[in-house]
């Protein structure tokens, strides 16, 4: 993963300070042109390189998608599974922005499309066999080498609930340095032993059918037991 390239998406320019420096450059140019020109050229070069080859919203979304796709294969390896072992249905993938840190706090911004994106992303992969469900939870940073993984197996009869919830979440927008709010959706699976597996949902409309598939499997397995 190209961390340096991804960081450019989250970079910002403090336009207040830029305006002050530009004003100083203009004043200096008026009185001492040989001082003002380097200041103004320096500001121009700084702004240019800040925006040069900056990733777009769609570019960062593609980074997320690639990492999530790789997480499916990572899950097979971590759980010591072969795809043939868990072919009841295709693996179900849920993913979304993570607003809490791994080792460092995430950088969070609202894109031009008004979607909130975080430098740390959350992914949950669910694999289904005839008797049990396997899970692989993968949280990763796209600007640093930060990763957090958990995985395990749950018998169908031990699952007591599968649900989604939505709440208004406050975050600090890195580019504007202002607190903002957005509606965050979360998937949650709870077991009889009190274990709870949660994952942020980036697009609730894309995972609704997958969540219904999980519930349908649980109904069939519980009625057959």
Strands 178-191 and 92-97: unpaired
- Helix H, strand E, coil C: the string for 111-153 is CCCCCEEECEEEEEEEEECCCEEEEEEEEEECCCCCEEEEEEE
| CA 141 to mean position of chain CA atoms | 8
> Strand pairing partners for 165?
186
Contact (CB, 8 A) for 60 and 50:
no
Q: Please give the Cα distance from 30 to 41 (Å, whole number).
A: 15
Query: What is the torsion angle, in degrees rounded to the nearest 10, for the CA atoms of residue 148, residue 153, residue 154 and residue 156?
Result: 130
> Strand pairing partners for 93?
125
Q: Please give the Cα distance from 113 to 147 (Å, whole number).
A: 27
**pTM for this model (two decimals):** 0.82
Rg (CA), the chain: 23
Take residue 174 and report the two structure tokens written for it: 């890195």
Predicted pLDDT of residue 177: 78
* pLDDT by position in tens, the chain (length 225): 888 889 888 877 665 665 666 676 676 666 776 666 776 666 666 566 666 677 899 999 999 999 999 999 999 999 999 999 998 999 999 999 998 888 888 999 888 888 999 999 999 999 999 989 999 999 999 999 999 999 999 999 999 899 999 888 888 888 777 888 888 899 999 998 888 999 999 888 888 888 898 889 888 887 776
Predicted pLDDT of residue 208: 87
Q: Please give the Cα distance from 83 to 107 (Å, whole number).
A: 35
Predicted pLDDT of residue 104: 86
For the chain, the domains span: 3-51, 57-224
Contact (CB, 8 A) for 193 and 158:
yes
CATH fold group of domain 57-224:
PH-domain like (2.30.29)
- Burial string for 57-70 (b: 16+ CB within 10 Å, else e) reads beebbebbeebbee
């Amino acid at each position: 993963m190209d961390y340096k390239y991804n960081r450019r998406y989250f970079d910002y320019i403090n336009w207040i300070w830029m305006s002050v420096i530009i004003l100083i450059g203009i004043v200096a140019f008026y009185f001492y042109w040989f001082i003002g020109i380097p200041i103004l050229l320096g500001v121009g070069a700084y702004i240019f390189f800040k925006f040069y080859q900056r990733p777009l919203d769609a570019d960062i979304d593609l980074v997320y998608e690639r990492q999530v796709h790789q997480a499916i294969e990572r899950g097979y390896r971590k759980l010591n599974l072969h795809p043939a072992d868990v072919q009841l249905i295709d693996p179900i993938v849920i993913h979304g922005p993570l607003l809490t840190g791994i080792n460092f706090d995430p950088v969070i911004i609202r894109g031009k499309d008004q979607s909130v994106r975080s430098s740390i992303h959350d992914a949950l992969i669910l694999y289904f066999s005839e008797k049990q469900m396997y899970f692989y939870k993968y949280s990763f940073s796209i600007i640093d080498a930060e990763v957090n993984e958990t995985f395990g197996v749950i018998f169908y009869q031990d699952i007591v609930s599968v649900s989604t919830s939505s709440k208004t979440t406050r975050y600090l927008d890195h580019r504007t340095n202002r607190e903002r709010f957005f509606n965050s959706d979360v998937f949650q699976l709870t077991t009889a032993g009190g274990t709870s597996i949660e994952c942020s949902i980036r697009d609730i409309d894309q995972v609704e059918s997958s969540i219904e598939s999980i519930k349908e499997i649980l109904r069939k397995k519980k009625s057959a037991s």
